[in-house]
Structure 1
Amino acid sequence: MEIRQIEKNKKKYLDLLLLADEQESMIDQYLEKGQLFIMTKEQEEQAAAVAVVTWESSCTAELKNLAVAKEWQRKGLGKAMVEYLCQHFAKAGAREMIVGTGDSPLTIPFYEACGFIRSHIKENFFTENYDHPIWEEGVQLIHMIYLKKNLLAIPGNIR
């Protein structure tokens, strides 16, 4: 698998992005300002995984969207993408990577396994910002749970 950044025609990957954020208007708020990365089998165009990261400050990068195609899930691609992004943004000078997600039994343990720790909560985020209830694994998502990862110890960090 190879990971590369996409700078044009980002909406081409909308179907995959919608797996992680099911409302297109929310994706529109970060897709163009964010950096889009795709993971593909070598020399193929079809993405197995996608991620969007934005700079929230000069030292903080935020993982806004991470999605793995259904046929590729549970094969380590999500973790590999997160590791790549942490290294990439550490080399670009980020001190930390943050990610916001619902309080889901799938996503919180995934990010904790990737080295993230809980940071803070944005109360009522999903009920106030989405036009319909969001459910994951039988749990309605209400609050945005933020996790963070220190990137200063990653080799190549320029800060």
Structure 2
Amino acid sequence: MKIREIIENKKQFLSLLLLADEQEDMIDKYLSAGTMYVLEDNGVKAECVVIDAGNKILEIKNIAVRPDCQRKGYGKALIDCIAAKYKGTYSVLQVGTGDSPLTVPFYEKCGFVRSHIIKNFFVDNYHRPIYENGIQLADMIYLRRNLSP
């Protein structure tokens, strides 16, 4: 397993990016400014984009694992690698996600705890309703993981 930073042509991974963020113009808002990593294990299995959110906070803007590779530890390995890389540089790793029984428990298993909510984020910022596991996403749930030494 190898994790590497992608400097150029980040859109080559658009199909993976769209798994985590269904609207391309929303991806465009953070992709060029973000730092992208891909996890390879006999081919690309996962990707993650992080940004500096200010105040020593590093934010995961997009993380996705190929559907046929999910539940095999790739997402957690990517998060753990990023947390280790930025420990000491940032004090917090945060992520915003829909209030879904598929995603929130994943982040909690990765050491994140609930921080705050942005009401109606998905309703107000996306052209079409977003559904996960048959439930329409409305609020953005923020979770945080401490990176302080």
Q: Would you say 1:97 and 2:113 are equivalent positions?
A: no
1:78-127 Cα deviation digits (max 9, x unpaired) = 11111011111115x00000000000001000000100000000111000
Task: Indicate the residue corresponding to 1:149 in structure 2.
Answer: 145
Mapping of 1:3-18 within 5 angstroms?
3-18=3-18
1:122-141 Cα deviation digits (max 9, x unpaired) = 11100000000000001110
Mapping of 1:1-80 within 5 angstroms?
1-41=1-41, 46-80=43-77
Identity across the alignment (%): 50
Distance 2:37 2:146 in 1: 21
Q: Would you say 1:118 and 2:118 are equivalent positions?
A: no
Give the CA deviation at 1:58: 4.8
Calculate the aligned-residue CA RMSD, in Å.
1.0
Q: Could you tell me which amino acid in structure 2 is paired with residue 127 of structure 1?
A: V
Q: Could you tell me which amino acid in structure 2 is paired with residue 90 of structure 1?
A: K
Gaps of 5+ in 1: 154-159
Gaps of 5+ in 2: none
Distance 1:79 1:16 in 2: 16
